[in-house]
Structure 1
Amino acid sequence: MTKQSGSLYVVATPIGNLADISQRAIATLQQVSCIAAEDTRHSGKLLQHLGISNRLLALHDHNEKQRAASIIEKCLAGEDVALISDAGTPLISDPGYSLVRLCREAGVPVVPVPGPCALITALCAAGLPTDKFQFIGFLAAKSSQRQKQLADVPANAGTIICYDTARRILDTLDDVAAVLGAERQLVLAKELTKTFEHFAYGNAAQIQHWLREEPQRCQGEMVLMIAAEAEKPASEISAEAQRTLQLLLAELPLKQAAALTAQIHNEKKNVLYQFALGLKSPD
């Protein structure tokens, strides 16, 4: 009889407060044959706190594809393996994508064990719309690349969420103001679930002022959330843009007509699209 394959368990761990780990996560980490961790020294402290002494394997950006082969081999031999990151849910701006994809391709079951995730933790307490949002991961180290990342986010993306480092946050706020406007409303969440957890509200300049008031405020893990841009009412679309849109709609699909009109008149594509829908709707 062929031995049944083991599974890869993707296990979320605390982002700060160790009491946030679930009973299921603890039970899973106790029963697997080994645990793949981004930083074995960092994760070793968590496991020691939990009284878990299972073997640790290092799995990070530089060795993931090579390490995946040995993990898949273990699973196919019937062993269960857990994947954890330094904090929170693996794969969310952390290593693990290649391993999970290769496990799926090899027929190894991948089982999520849900738990803390910094972006969701920040969003649920920020007071910004949660029905639609776009997570863009860690922002780039260079200002020009950060500005491109921000500019590439669609106008209709909803709340924008990104991770950033304490040493870059002041410069990042400059970039946000330059690309998205000095008055765009922001929420900065730092040290989530830890002793000095804090949510700072305001525009880029106001949050910079708060950070500079005390040097220690520019420390710790940070999640930056950017409010969606207030949509321009159709009544504020220029008469020229409205006429161009109507002419293009006679020859082109709605989406293409709105996009071309936006380029010609420097209007918002999504606003023109909604306006065009109204033109096409029956009375």
Structure 2
Amino acid sequence: MARFIEDSTDAPVSPGLYIVATPIGNLGDISHRALEILSSVDLIACEDTRVSLKLLTHYGIKKPLLSYHDHNARSAGPKILSALAKGQAVALISDAGTPLISDPGYRLVADARAEGHRVIPIPGACAFVAAVSASGLPTDKVMFLGFSPPKSVARKQFVTPYQRLEATLVLYESPNRLVAALTDFADILGDRQAAICRELTKRYEDIRRGSLLELAQDYAGQEGRIKGEIAIIIAPAETTKIETGDLDPLLRKALKDLSVREAAAAVSWMTGEKRRTVYQKALAIKAEMEDGTS
């Protein structure tokens, strides 16, 4: 691999913003194309330069680094756009996995496109995709929800709109909140089958299957000792026929956290009802809620 990097370092690369996926644990899980791009760009934007240096040093890549994360996006973003405006090639990487998946970068990509710069995806590892593939749960419909809120009440409200969604749910969770989260999800969604995927691709990779409450009980005795990145995969709701009259309670719940358009889209997907019909009903319910009549 070192020879590959040596031969590729001076290879020309077209100007643009390259969204480069990096390993989620095992450093071997990176593509030849990703290494070639990282070796050839003018600048690498990364969340934490210390974390990214471990990967880059491992493969003998030496490039200017710029820290880019949620807290400095307003100051770092213009620097990246300026580099692009000069005709440079910039790679955006995250600490692990595919950038923009529960990571910063959305605004940067939008701004780069708005200014006419090319945005080129360099695909690779993604934790939630890897977790779903190994979970043994349905993969035909998958809803990725990112990180759930840290507090119990907010966490329950967060998953409530997805109670009847006939799709596998995927969430990221902190080790310190795992047991509480599993218990809350069971309270709202029912004691469904689930999988806990922890430390994927790493030495202590751990994938467990069971119901939400079984898994909560399994991990309860390990609180304080659970380590690593965690993905929770939850089985879909059982297939049920939802009558049109059931739209009201679903919409009322969804409208507490979502806009009218978002709530209508979510409920339309859950029920199979035409989106236009659901949207009109959502408008009426929203008006009632704002008038204080519901």
TM superposition score category, shorter chain reference: 0.7 to 0.9
2:211 is matched with: 203
C-alpha separation in 2, matches of 1:104 and 1:261:
40
Q: Secondary structure at the match of 1:188?
A: strand
C-alpha separation in 2, matches of 1:97 and 1:261:
33
2:247 is matched with: 259
Per the alignment, do residues 214 and 168 of structure 1 end up closer, same or farther by CA in structure 2, a change over 3 Å counting? closer
Alignment of 1:155-234 (within 5 A): 155-181=164-190, 183-214=191-222, 218-232=226-240
Deviations 1:34-64 (A, max 9, x none): 1000011111111111111101100000111
- Which entry has the higher C-alpha Rg, 1 or 2? 1
C-alpha separation in 1, matches of 2:111 and 2:272:
43
C-alpha separation in 2, matches of 1:214 and 1:184:
22
C-alpha separation in 1, matches of 2:271 and 2:176:
37
Alignment of 1:1-283 (within 5 A): 6-153=15-162, 155-181=164-190, 183-214=191-222, 218-232=226-240, 257=245, 259-260=247-248
Asked if structure 1 preserves the Cα contact closer than 8 Å seen for 2:148 and 2:155, the reply is yes
Structure 1 stretches of 4+ moved >4 Å? 213-217, 260-263, 268-274
Same amino acid, percent of matched pairs? 41
Per the alignment, do residues 60 and 262 of structure 1 end up closer, same or farther by CA in structure 2, a change over 3 Å counting? closer
Q: Secondary structure at the match of 1:107?
A: coil
Tell me which amino acid in the other structure corresponds to 1:61: D
Tell me which amino acid in the other structure corresponds to 2:31: S
> How far 1:195 sits from its partner (Å)?
1.0
C-alpha separation in 1, matches of 2:109 and 2:181:
32
Which shows bigger deviation, 145-154 or 49-58? 145-154
Per the alignment, do residues 180 and 79 of structure 1 end up closer, same or farther by CA in structure 2, a change over 3 Å counting? same
C-alpha separation in 2, matches of 1:81 and 1:187:
37
Tell me which amino acid in the other structure corresponds to 2:247: A
Deviations 1:177-232 (A, max 9, x none): 11112x21111110101111121111122112322455686111100011011123
> How far 1:273 sits from its partner (Å)?
5.8
C-alpha separation in 2, matches of 1:40 and 1:28:
18
C-alpha separation in 1, matches of 2:169 and 2:233:
6
Q: How many residues align?
A: 246
Asked if structure 2 preserves the Cα contact closer than 8 Å seen for 1:33 and 1:54, the reply is yes
> How far 1:143 sits from its partner (Å)?
0.9
C-alpha separation in 2, matches of 1:32 and 1:126:
36
> How far 1:157 sits from its partner (Å)?
4.5
Asked if structure 2 preserves the Cα contact closer than 8 Å seen for 1:163 and 1:224, the reply is yes
> How far 1:5 sits from its partner (Å)?
7.9
